[in-house]
Structure formats: C-alpha cells, structure tokens
C-alpha cells in the first residue's frame, strides 16, 4: 500500500480512537484524560497537511482525510448544535444564571463589572472570590442578596436562605468544600450549589519534569491519575448530596472537567443536564486564553469548556453562551432558563 494512503488510514484510526474515548469517558485511562486538557485543534493539523497531499497523490482517497478533519472540527473539538432543544411553547418563570471563576484581585475588575452590566443576570455564582463583596462589586451588588463563604460568593436578585457548607473529598492540606443555599423565585425554591472541583494544574505541570529525563514519567502519571480520581470522587459526592434534594436544583461552577469527562457524566447520571449542551451553539470554551498571553499575545483563545451550569428537569435551558475573556482566566457561562411553576 502506498505511503500516503497508509498515513491517511493511520490518521483516521487515531481520530476514531479519540472520538471513541470521548464517547466512553476519556478519563478512564490517563492518556485520554491528559488529551482532554490539550487544545483539540492540534488534531486538525495532520488533516490540513494530508488533504492537499492526498489530493495530489491519491485523489480518489481524498474523502478520508476530509472526513477525519471534519470529525475533529466537530465532535472531537466539542462543537455543539443542540438538536434536541425543547420544541414548542414552554411555560415558566424566566431566569438568567451566570457562573464565573473570577480569580478576584488578580485581574482588572472593570471588565468584570462591564460583563455583569451587559449580561444582567438574576443569579451569579462566583468561585475564587475571596473578599469579592468589596471594591467595584460592592457598588454593583448593593441592592442584591449576597451570600459569601470563603472563596464562594452567590449574588441574587431574589432572596437567599438556608446556607450550608458541604465538605468535599480532598488531598493535601487545603480542604475542599462547596456552598449550598436556597433561592426563592416566586412560589418556588431552587437549591443552588456553587462548586469548584480540584484543579489539574499541578498534576499537569508534573509532566514538564519529563524533560529532565524519562524516569520522571511514572511519577507524573501517578500524580495525574490521583488528581483525575479525586475529581471524580468529588463529583460522586455531589451526586450523593443531590439524591436528597426535592424540587428545582442548579449546580454551577468550575468543575475543571470538560464535557466528555466522567465527572460531567456522573452529574448527568444524577439527573442533571448541562445548559450549554442543551441550548448553546458553538464550542463554548471557557478556559485557556490566559495561558499563552505572555508568550504569544495573539493566541489569547480558549480551548476547554470546564465551567458548567447544570440543572434538573425543573429548569429548561433556552439559551446559553460564554462571556468575556478579559476579566479572568475563565470566561463566564451565562444561561437562560424557564423555571417550571410549582403545582
């Protein structure tokens, strides 16, 4: 068989394997989990090279790199087109929710306030928001109901109550927890969960030591696998809390997990639906745009969707989008819902 055709078959096989891993849960095995945190557009580069080469050398087979390339641009990169969007008239109370890891105090706050004024949410769930109730945000939220606990801040145009802190499994010295409360919208009470799962940052950085020698790889793999497992255990813990809920539930925050991960699957199996998957269009990436800002300023683009708004069947998503990349190294997720009226 000719070399160009062999390369095309190999490329197609690799893309098929990646697509399959996304389907079954890429983080079941560490190479698939590692790939989740890489720019998936990189898998388009071989196809871009193979396409003209195949056109010139093996024209009858040009469909092979073209199909593989389209599969990368679509499912592998996570392009979303909500085919199962609710059809017909859906009644209920409109509600706009925003979740945002704002890294308070580390970035210019005015773009943050500008995004809030532009989006005009009814409920905001912040993460990494220690002392965020002061400064520029204090003026914006002066007439809102606020609930602050450590790195979490929930702001609402509607009354908040029943605040609780639930512990999450953790490793190391820093304890992990989430903030839960109730928000009353009309005659309904929604259980809000503001969450921030374990970051993969340090375990990913462990792979950089491999540059010093291959003997660092086993240690990096072990640290990374432990990190992935911990995040999955945290998701299962949240699912346990959710099993005790009755009525509307909304879980939002920085899950540090892409949509095809087992973390998101665990929350779906607990009865939640992702707002962007249900009503968003495009890629909806929320993270990555700050990582290369000092080295390659023109490449300030996001490539992962790790921030999510998820709800049970009481809330129907009608629209979902991401916001500015200027105010934080995370983009906010803004979702519009219709809340079913209580019987």
| 283-319 pLDDT tens trace | 999 999 887 665 555 567 899 999 999 999 999 999 9
pTM over 0.85: yes
Residue 199's closest CA among 115, 128, 256? 256
Q: Are 22 and 75 in contact (CB under 8 A)?
A: yes
Amino acid 292: pLDDT = 65
Distance CA 156, CA 148 (A): 12
Pairing state of beta strands 176-185 and 160-168?
antiparallel
> What does residue 171 show for φ and ψ, rounded to 5 degrees?
-130, 155
Cβ-proximal residues to 124 (8 Å cutoff; 6+ apart), any chain: 97, 98, 99, 100, 116, 153, 154, 155, 156
Average pLDDT, the chain: 91
Confidence class of residue 215 from pLDDT cuts 50, 70 and 90? low
Amino acid 207: pLDDT = 85
Distance CA 83, CA 96 (A): 22
Q: Are 98 and 334 in contact (CB under 8 A)?
A: yes
Residue 231's closest CA among 283, 302, 176, 186? 176
Helices 3-24, 44-57: crossing angle, 10 deg rounding: 150
> In 79-237, where do the E strands start and end?
93-101, 123-127, 145-149, 152-156, 160-168, 176-185, 188-196
């Amino acid at each position: 068989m000719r070399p160009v055709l062999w390369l095309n078959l190999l490329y197609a096989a690799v893309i098929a394997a990646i697509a399959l891993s996304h389907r079954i849960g890429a983080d079941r095995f560490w190479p698939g989990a590692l790939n989740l945190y890489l720019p998936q557009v990189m898998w388009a580069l071989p196809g871009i090279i193979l396409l003209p080469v195949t056109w010139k050398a093996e024209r009858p087979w040009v469909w092979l790199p073209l199909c593989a390339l389209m599969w990368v641009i679509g499912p592998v990169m996570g392009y979303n087109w909500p085919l199962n969007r609710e059809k017909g008239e859906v009644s209920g109370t409109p509600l706009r929710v925003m979740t945002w890891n704002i890294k308070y105090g580390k970035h210019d706050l005015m773009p943050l306030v500008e995004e809030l004024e532009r989006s005009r949410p009814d409920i905001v769930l912040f993460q990494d928001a220690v002392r965020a109730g002061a400064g520029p945000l204090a003026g914006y939220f002066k007439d809102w109901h606020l609930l602050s606990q450590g790195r979490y801040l929930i702001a609402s145009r509607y009354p908040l109550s029943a605040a609780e802190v639930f512990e999450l499994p953790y490793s190391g010295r820093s304890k992990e927890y989430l903030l839960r409360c109730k928000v009353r919208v009309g005659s309904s009470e929604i259980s809000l969960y503001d969450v921030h799962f374990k970051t993969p940052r340090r375990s990913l950085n462990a792979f950089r030591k491999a540059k010093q020698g291959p003997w660092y790889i086993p240690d990096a793999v072990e640290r990374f696998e432990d990190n992935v497992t911990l995040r999955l255990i945290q998701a299962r813990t949240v699912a346990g809390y959710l099993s005790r809920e009755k009525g509307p539930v909304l879980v939002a925050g920085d899950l540090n997990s892409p949509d095809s991960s087992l973390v998101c699957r665990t929350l779906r199996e607990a009865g939640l639906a992702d707002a962007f998957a249900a009503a968003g269009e495009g890629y909806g990436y929320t993270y990555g745009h700050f990582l290369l800002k000092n080295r390659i300023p023109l490449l300030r683009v996001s490539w992962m969707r790790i921030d999510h708004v998820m709800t049970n069947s009481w809330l129907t998503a009608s629209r979902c989008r991401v916001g500015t990349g200027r105010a934080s190294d995370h983009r906010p997720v803004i979702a519009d819902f219709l809340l079913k009226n209580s019987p």
